[in-house]
């Protein structure tokens, strides 16, 4: 009986911890934030240029990175990612995928697939009211992208993005600036 009384509270504590872990996952010693505000997905469509990112194996040696989003007839989103290998003038590499909104209340959480049935999280963590910049991540904190509509934003805009990335809890020492 004593064992049951001890295990039950421990089980409840573990369950509560698991629930908390589902809402925020660690980024270093901090937590991955939830998206800051809703996303009007139609205003999000179009071309974005990557300004900063956490380096990822699938983007090794990528420069001049851009992403194009367009609404499909079935309400999914057609995604085309482009990069130039090793330099802004290097050979172009393209990846085409499909995204779907998984949080229709905010439009800020999507699942993206570039490889058949395998989907990854794509969360718009924050964006400008006029959709001129956005910061994208996912719940594990392994990936981060700061995007703008302009391939060469001003130094002031880049500084603002850096500050916002840090405010969201990301480790700036892991951020790489993308050459455009």
φ, ψ for residue 152 (rounded to 5)? -130, 75
Half-sphere exposure of 6 (CA within 13 A, CB side): 3
| Predicted pLDDT at 149 | 98
Q: What's the pLDDT tens digit per position in 114-167? A: 988 899 999 999 999 999 999 999 999 999 999 999 999 999 999 999 999 999
| Predicted pLDDT at 22 | 35
What is the rounded distance in angstroms from the CA atom of residue 100 to the CA atom of residue 136?
15
Read off the pLDDT band of 108 (50, 70, 90): very high
How close are the terminal C-alpha atoms of the chain, in Å? 66
What is the rounded distance in angstroms from the CA atom of residue 147 to the CA atom of residue 99?
17
Structure tokens at 14: 């573990």
Verdict on whether the full-model pTM lies above 0.85: no
**Residue in 134, 166, 176, 170 with CA at minimum distance from that of residue 153:** 134
Q: List domains and CATH numbers for the chain.
A: 31-177 (2.40.128.20)
DSSP state of 151: S
Kindly state the helix (H) or strand (E) to which residue 99 belongs, with its residue range. Answer: strand 92-101
| Predicted pLDDT at 116 | 85
**Residue in 46, 170, 35 with CA at minimum distance from that of residue 103:** 35
Please write down the HEC assignment for all residues of 49-92: EEEEEECCHHHCCEEEEEEEEEECCCCCEEEEEEEEECCCCCCE
| Predicted pLDDT at 30 | 53
| Predicted pLDDT at 31 | 64
What is the rounded distance in angstroms from the CA atom of residue 61 to the CA atom of residue 58?
9
What is the rounded distance in angstroms from the CA atom of residue 162 to the CA atom of residue 94?
27
Structure tokens at 150: 């302009």
- If you average pLDDT over residues 159-178, what whole number do you get? 97
Q: What's the pLDDT tens digit per position in 1-47? A: 544 443 333 333 333 333 333 334 444 545 678 999 999 999 999 99
Q: What's the pLDDT tens digit per position in 75-102? A: 999 999 999 999 999 999 999 999 999 9
């Amino acid at each position: 009986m004593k064992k049951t009384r001890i295990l039950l509270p421990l089980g409840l504590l573990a369950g509560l911890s698991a629930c908390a872990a589902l809402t925020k996952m660690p980024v270093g010693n901090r937590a991955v934030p939830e998206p800051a505000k809703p996303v009007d997905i139609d205003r999000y469509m179009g071309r974005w240029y990557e300004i900063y990112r956490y380096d990822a194996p699938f983007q090794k040696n990528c420069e001049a990175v851009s992403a194009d989003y367009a609404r499909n007839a079935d309400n999914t989103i057609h995604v085309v990612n482009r990069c130039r290998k090793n330099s802004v003038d290097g050979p172009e590499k393209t990846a085409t995928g499909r995204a779907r909104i998984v949080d229709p209340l905010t439009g800020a959480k999507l699942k993206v697939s570039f490889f058949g049935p395998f989907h990854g999280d794509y969360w718009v963590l924050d964006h400008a009211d006029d959709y001129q910049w956005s910061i994208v991540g996912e719940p594990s904190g392994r990936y981060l992208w700061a995007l703008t509509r302009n391939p060469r934003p001003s130094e002031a805009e880049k500084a603002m993005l850096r500050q916002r990335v840090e405010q969201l809890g990301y480790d700036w020492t892991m951020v790489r600036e993308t050459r455009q």
